[in-house]
Amino acid sequence: MDMKLNYIAGQWQESSNAMANINPSDTSDIIGQYAHADKNQTEQAIKAARQAFSNWSKTGIQQRSELLDRIGQIILDRRQALGELLSREEGKTLPEGIGEATRAGQIFKFFAGEVLHMTGDLLPSTRPGLEVSITRDPIGVVGLITPWNFPIAIPAWKIAPALAYGNCVVFKPAELVPGSAHALAEIIVEAGIPEGVFNLVMGTGSEVGATIVDHPDIDAISFTGSVNTGKRIATNSISRMAKFQLEMGGKNPLIILDDADLDIAVDCAIQGAFFSTGQRCTASSRLIVTKGIHNRFVDAVEEKLSTLVIDHALKSGTHIGPVVDQRQLDQDIKYIDIGQSEGAKLVCGGELVKRDTNGFYLTPALFTDTSNDMRINREEIFGPVASVIAVDNYEQALQVANDTEFGLSAGIVTTSLKYASDFKRNIEAGMAMVNVPTAGVDYHVPFGGRKGSSYGSREQGQYAREFYTTVKTAYTLA
Ligand code: NAD
């Protein structure tokens, strides 16, 4: 089987090591062998990016806009094939995979337009005769480190603004999902990226990731992944004064009030907690339900879950694909055991099931009789596992929702304008959802969280420029 190569300094480069990319729906299906870069190759990529920066940062916005638009268009033209590859390597269903590929294309198109909207300020000085201007410069070489659960959308929402604002890129995707990253790199090359401006270095976090984070020629690091890795990156970046941005875990609450429309509540809970196999940082893992609707809600969720098809991600009719790998499956099972030993009641799911192909199939697990201090309600599980927490009223629901170290996304299902408005004002989260699932966002507005979920400026939309540029204040004696 041919090895898929890294893209370094304008060349597709071989490595002495490679890793098999395995389909979680069918472990006999090897998608490909993907080269693992070593420290030396990572350093070459960083050097190439540094050398390319001087020219690239001076290219006009027209050229950058056209390049991003071409990348976006090729992605959209190939969304079906990209979606298939994504679903095959990550395990989300084909409609979800195609949807994510489409999103990646839209993001590149958005930043193709956004770069033409760069603004600054020109203002009078407090000193007579002087004029002051405030403009934005690119930051330099950026290291982009991404997780496995959105293999093309997250790379897109980092690479597109990085390039748009004149930075050079060293991109390290997650080890588990190199296929989508490699396909994206091929498109970026095909669209005509100049040598050294964009580099793909697939490989391990401990070698490739750590080399990027610690390298003095990396001016800024944008990271999405787990809290533990994020903390390590923060410590190392601070020690050498590099700029960084972290998007990490969640333990997102969805409040269901007595006055909720039951169908909307069930839909939000099922979509938010279990679709994409629950492997979303914005997944609703805590369902906080007032007592008047509690039993009806639990019965309806259980009934709906029993109709969902858990099977091969590429099979038509599948609602929920497999868990991404054995390690994640072990973690999900461990937490299902922890929940039961803590006294939570497993209402349904949490069973390993066999399908025609050998994959990591787990039925969606729903707990009731849980309290917010249980480990299953405090620690991110990152699988198809959700808990119901019964509460007396809205005030208690809000207090429980905010009682977490995380603060990414939070939702409420209610027909009350009063509670919806109060929730939007007082929920301690970066994103607040009313009558829509906690997962599922637009690409033209900021994305990110508070507390332990995020650090640094927001990603996506116009807000992305905060991270990918640095401000210059200039004084001119006219
Ligand atoms: P992870 O932290 O294990 O890995 C993320 C990336 O960091 C990978 O590319 C990995 O190789 C790299 N890495 C690992 N060790 C490193 C090191 N020492 N130095 C530099 N890089 C290193 O996370 P994961 O398991 O791939 O992803 C799941 C996590 O991502 C979950 O916690 C989820 O909540 C989070 N996530 C957050 C968001 C968000 O926007 N908040 C979005 C998606 C996923």
DSSP 333-388: HHHHHHHHHTT-EEEE---B---SS----BPPEEEES--TTSHHHHS---SSEEEE
Task: Yes or no: say if 25 and 17 are a contact pair by the CB < 8 Å rule.
Answer: no
Whether 445 maps to a domain, the answer reads no
The Cα–Cα gap between 85 and 196 comes to 26
* Ligand 1 pocket test, candidate residues 42, 206, 224, most atoms within 8 A of CB: 224
Residue 62 shares a structural domain with residue 152: yes
Q: Is the CB of 252 under 6 A from ligand 1?
A: no
Q: Supply the pTM of this predicted model.
A: 0.97
Order of strands across the sheet that contains 284-290: 345-348, 365-368, 385-391, 284-290, 252-256, 409-413, 431-434
Within this chain, do residues 243 and 259 fall inside the same structural domain, yes or no? no
Query: Which ligand 1 atom is the nearest neighbour of the CA of 145?
Result: 9
Residue ranges of alpha helices (H) inside 58-201 are 61-77, 79-90, 94-114, 153-164, 178-190
- Structure-token match 């929730």, residue found: 423
In a domain, residue 379? The reply is: yes
Residue 478, pLDDT score: 76
Counting atoms of ligand 1 from 1, which one is nearest the CA of 281?
A: 34
Would 328 be classed as within a structural domain?
A: yes
Would you say the CB of residue 87 lies under 6 angstroms from ligand 1?
no
Looking at the structure, tell me whether residues 208 and 283 fall in a common domain: no
Centre a 10 Å sphere on the Cβ of residue 84 and count the other Cβ atoms it contains. 17
pLDDT tens for the chain, residues 1 to 478: 789 999 999 999 999 999 999 999 999 999 999 999 999 999 999 999 999 999 999 999 999 999 999 999 999 999 999 999 999 999 999 999 999 999 999 999 999 999 999 999 999 999 999 999 999 999 999 999 999 999 999 999 999 999 999 999 999 999 999 999 999 999 999 999 999 999 999 999 999 999 999 999 999 999 999 999 999 999 999 999 999 999 999 999 999 999 999 999 999 999 999 999 999 999 999 999 999 999 999 999 999 999 999 999 999 999 999 999 999 999 999 999 999 999 999 999 999 999 999 999 999 999 999 999 999 999 999 999 999 999 999 999 999 999 999 999 999 999 999 999 999 999 999 999 999 999 999 999 999 999 999 999 999 999 999 999 999 999 999 7
Residue-range definition of the domain harbouring residue 284: 253-434
Q: Is residue 443 in some structural domain?
A: no
Q: Whose CA is nearest to atom 13 of ligand 1?
A: 205
Residue 323 CB–ligand 1 contact under 6 Å:
no
- Is the CB of residue 147 below 6 angstroms from any atom belonging to ligand 1? yes
Indicate whether 308 and 342 sit together in one domain. yes
Active-site residue, selected from the candidate residues 43, 100, 207, 281: 281
User: Do residues 223 and 247 touch, judged by C-beta distance below 8 A?
Assistant: yes
Q: What total number of domains does the chain contain? A: 2
Output the domain CATH number for residue 22.
3.40.605.10
Residue type, 72: G
* Residue located nearest, by CA, to atom 26 of ligand 1: 147
348 in catalytic set: no
One domain, residues 268 and 397: yes
Give me ligand 1 centre to Cα 24, in Å.
19
Q: Give a yes or no: residue 336 inside a domain.
A: yes
Six-digit token string for 389: 């927490």
For residues 379 and 468, state if they share a domain: no
Strands, E, within 241-362: which ranges?
Answer: 243-247, 252-256, 284-290, 345-348
CA distance 82 to 76: 9
67 and 187 assigned to the same domain:
yes
Please report the atom of ligand 1 found closest to the CA of residue 203. Answer: 11
Structure tokens at 464: 């992305």
Q: Are residues 378 and 468 in the same domain?
A: no
* Confidence (pLDDT) at 336: 98
Same-domain check for residues 159 and 182: yes
Q: Which atom of ligand 1 is nearest to the CA of 176?
A: 26
Per the residue annotation, which of 89, 96, 100, 247 is the catalytic one? Answer: 247
Query: Order of strands across the sheet with 130-138?
Result: 121-124, 130-138, 469-477
Pocket test for ligand 1, best of 223, 281, 459 (most atoms within 8 A of CB): 281
Does some domain include residue 144?
A: yes
Closest atom of ligand 1 relative to the 228 alpha carbon: 2
- Please name the residues in contact with 423: beta carbons below 8 A apart, sequence gap of 6 or more: 255, 398, 410, 412, 414, 432, 434
Please indicate, yes or no, whether residues 227 and 105 belong to a single structural domain of this protein: yes
Q: Do residue 323 and residue 227 come from a single domain?
A: no
Q: How far is the CA of 332 from the centre of ligand 1 (A)?
A: 17
Count, residues in the chain: 478
Q: What is the pLDDT of residue 2?
A: 86
Query: CATH number for the domain including 369?
Result: 3.40.309.10
Q: Is residue 103 part of a domain?
A: yes
pLDDT of residue 328: 98
Is the distance from CB of 188 to CB of 199 less than 8 angstroms?
no
Return the structure tokens found at 197.
């401006």
205 CA → ligand 1 middle, Å = 9
Give 207 Cα–ligand 1 centroid separation in angstroms.
Answer: 14
Task: Identify the three-state secondary structure at position 457.
Answer: coil
- Tell me: do 185 and 297 sit in the same domain: no
Q: What angle do CA 78, 82, 88 make, to 5 degrees?
A: 155
For 196-318, where are the E strands, in sequence order? 198-200, 220-224, 243-247, 252-256, 284-290
For residue 255, report the phi and psi dihedrals to the nearest 5 degrees.
-90, 135
- Residue 383 belongs to a domain: yes
